[in-house]
């Protein structure tokens, strides 16, 4: 069982608010531009060029986990499942996640970003689990769900965060609204 990090396990609101504060940009402005990018299906990193400023350092904290995230990870691990958390994140995000999962991976450390097939191939190499025995949980259809399906994984679309609500998952993907639903949805 592998989770995309942002908006699947971690509510990105706090991180984006801290980034806005560090950049000296009103939070509402930053969130509005992010919303525009989400609605257009564009990469969130474009926010900094649109605003004409350099991206500040910002990451998540323990307080940013969704309330259902850590209990779900614990429940899955207690059932003997290998649980991972990966994403298009800086390597520092791995430190926050490491205590809660069996495997962490970041696009920066791996040198490849989602939705590239190489990201999902690296995931398979890191876990040692065949794609057909891997469930990948994410909020973005373009970055998480479709690439996981293409890689031969079970894709689970969680509807939260801006992309989770704006994207419609294909019929072959499972759909959940909370990680509390995940174990039953995947039959564990």
- Residues 29-40: tens digit of each pLDDT: 999 999 888 788
Output the pLDDT for position 159. 96
Q: What phi, psi does 85 have (nearest 5°)?
A: -135, 120
> Does pLDDT of 157 surpass 80?
yes
Residue 170: Cβ within 10 Å count: 11
Question: Is 124 in contact with 130 (CB distance < 8 Å)?
Answer: yes
pTM passes above 0.85? yes
Question: Is 82 in contact with 115 (CB distance < 8 Å)?
Answer: no
Q: For the domain made up of 2-11+62-186, give the CATH fold.
A: Rossmann fold (3.40.50)
Q: Which element (helix H / strand E) includes 86? A: strand 84-87
Dump pLDDT digits (tens) for 97-153: 999 999 999 998 999 999 999 999 999 999 999 999 999 999 999 999 999 999 999
* Structure tokens that stand for 152 in this block: 């031969």
- Each domain of the chain, given as residue ranges in start order, spans 2-11+62-186, 13-51
Alpha-carbon span 36 to 30, nearest angstrom: 10
Helices (H) and strands (E) in the chain, counts: 10, 6
Q: Report helix angle 13-23 to 27-40, nearest 10.
A: 120
């Amino acid at each position: 069982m592998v989770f995309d990090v942002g908006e699947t396990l971690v509510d990105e609101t706090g991180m984006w608010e801290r980034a806005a504060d560090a950049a000296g940009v009103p939070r509402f402005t930053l969130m509005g531009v992010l919303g525009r990018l989400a609605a257009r299906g564009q990469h969130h990193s474009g926010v900094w060029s649109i605003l004409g400023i350099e991206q500040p350092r910002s990451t998540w904290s323990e307080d940013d986990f969704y309330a259902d995230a850590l209990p779900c990870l614990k429940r899955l691990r207690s059932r003997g499942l290998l649980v991972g958390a990966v994403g298009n994140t800086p390597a520092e995000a791995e430190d926050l996640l490491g205590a809660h999962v069996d495997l962490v991976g970041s696009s920066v450390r791996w040198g490849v970003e989602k939705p590239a097939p190489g990201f999902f191939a690296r995931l398979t190499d890191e876990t040692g689990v065949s794609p057909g025995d891997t469930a990948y949980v994410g909020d973005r259809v373009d970055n998480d769900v479709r690439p996981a399906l293409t890689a031969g994984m079970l894709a689970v679309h969680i509807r939260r965060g801006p992309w989770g609500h704006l994207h419609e998952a294909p019929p072959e993907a499972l759909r959940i609204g909370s990680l509390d639903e995940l174990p039953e949805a995947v039959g564990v």
